[in-house]
Amino acid sequence: MIKAIFEFLFSCHHRNLSRVFTIRAKTYKVCTDCGAEFAYSLETMSMNSVSQPRHVRHWSPLPHGGTN
């Protein structure tokens, strides 16, 4: 209960979402503030309300350990 209160008060509220992406047969929107992914249904043209956001690591254009 306390964890839920802290998450509500201090975590991202996902107000800034990207356009819809479909990559590798997965359709989703991304929070531009924290990077959380939200499943999106092309059939209903809405986000799946029961899915939890999936947080991903930040994308890097360079391979791990490599530099240009």
C-alpha to C-alpha distance for 50 and 16, rounded to whole angstroms: 19
- Predicted confidence at residue 52, as pLDDT, reads 57
In eight-state DSSP terms, residue 52 is P
CA–CA distance, 26 with 41 (Å, rounded to integer):
10
Yes or no: say if 37 and 51 are a contact pair by the CB < 8 Å rule: no
Q: List the chain pLDDT tens, one digit each, 68 residues.
A: 887 776 777 778 888 999 998 998 899 999 898 888 889 998 888 887 545 566 655 555 555 555 55
Going from N- to C-terminal start, the domains of the chain cover 10-57
Instruction: Provide the pLDDT for residue 9.
Output: 74
Q: How far apart (Å, rounded) are the C-alpha atoms in residues 58 and 13? A: 18
Q: Supply the pTM of this predicted model.
A: 0.59
Quote the CA–CA distance of 62 and 41 in Å, as a whole number. Answer: 32
